[in-house]
Amino acid sequence: MRIEDLKGKRILIHALVNLGDVVLATSTAALLKKLCPSVHITMMVRHYAREIVVNNPVIDDFIIFDYQSKKKSYRAMWQMIKTLRNGNFDVCISLDRKLRPALLTFLARIPQRVVPERIFDDKPSDVVRLYTDVIPMTSDFLQQPQAENFQTVVRGWLGLEDVHAKPVIGKPTECNYKKVDKLLSRLQSGKKHIALCVKGTFPLKTWPKEHFCDLMKKLQDRYNADFFIIGAPGDHDYADEVIKSSNLAVENFCGETSLMDLTVLFQQSFLFVTVDTGALHIASTTDVPIVAMYGCGPAKRWPPMTDNSRIVTTSEDCSPCHIPADACPTNPRPKCQWNITPDMVLKACEELV
């Protein structure tokens, strides 16, 4: 495929992956629009990523598909095949290499179907047999940012090299701004706002409470700021524990914000300090300075895609890993988290702001 052949093409991109990866995957749509503004892009995602693709300047349409639901009957699958056929897509680009969407796009008879030979790990997969174009990945792709790996699929398909794009998410509405104004009214007026995300998706991504409390006190002394914590509804009680231990006036917004609310909160924040989680990728599409602590996760693979950020990690010999916290050889004080000190994070904050 040549760039000039993209004109007027209808392209389906499916990324049925985690929230942060969906944000990074939007960089492929941004790259295609950069190369050919007239291309029509539809993105297939799960329901929790809907706000990322709605009202998104580089995405023309979207399809919601929760393929793991046990309630998905053959009739529902057939309905999705008909939806895809009615989309009259010329090309499908896979950014998840999963079997279900591969079968759907094959049965929908999308003429050209593009897939990377590998994407999240180095394991081969027979799923690629359902595609017409299999894009090779470099031998060191596991050491590159995942957003660049997603874009490698587009570059490989089009025979390009040095072209890049940043992730793009949907635009906030007036309702989002009003809601954020109401949330921020709970903070002390006239102070700088510092956003915090204190809990990761599993224990070895969660920085110790003691470190967070120490850091907040240092940041308050340094910047006379106030703080709020963001996160999922299930993070609310943990955030309350951090707040109680800090003896500071910190607002808990966990479970009270949509994805677009978060973008507005970040836009109005002085600084965002976070563990390795999907929120940092949303924040990276705004101008907020970001300091992120990476413990067991590979910082090279999933960094915030913005120059206005700092990563703090001790790069332990055992990282990256995905073992349960109670199986960590250094439990109950995993080195990958405890060796990242509050002073190291404070220094990164001061470098940015």
Q: What is the pLDDT of residues 70-125, one digit of tens each?
A: 556 777 888 999 999 999 999 999 999 999 999 999 999 999 999 999 999 888 89
What pLDDT shows up at residue 70?
56
User: Cβ of 126: how many Cβ atoms within 10 Å?
Assistant: 8
What is the reported pLDDT for 5? 85
Distances (CA, A) of 20 to 35, 200, 207, 281: 24, 12, 19, 6
| For residue 3, pLDDT beyond 90 | no
pLDDT at 174 over 80: yes
133: left (phi over 0), alpha (psi -120 to 50) or beta: beta
What pLDDT, on a 0 to 100 scale, did the predictor assign at position 318? Answer: 85
Backbone angles phi, psi at 36, to 5 degrees: -150, 95
Q: What is the pLDDT at residue 72?
A: 61
- Domains for the chain: give ranges and CATH numbers: 3-158 (3.40.50.2000), 174-352 (3.40.50.2000)
Quick check: pTM over 0.85?
yes
Say what the pLDDT of residue 76 is: 80
- pLDDT score for 71: 57
pLDDT score, position 230: 97
pLDDT at 74: 78
pLDDT digits (tens, 9 = 90+) for 17-76: 999 999 999 999 999 999 999 999 999 999 999 999 999 999 999 999 986 555 567 778
Contact criterion met (CB below 8 Å) for 110 and 92: yes
Task: Over range 312-322, report the average pLDDT.
Answer: 86
pLDDT at 189 over 90: no
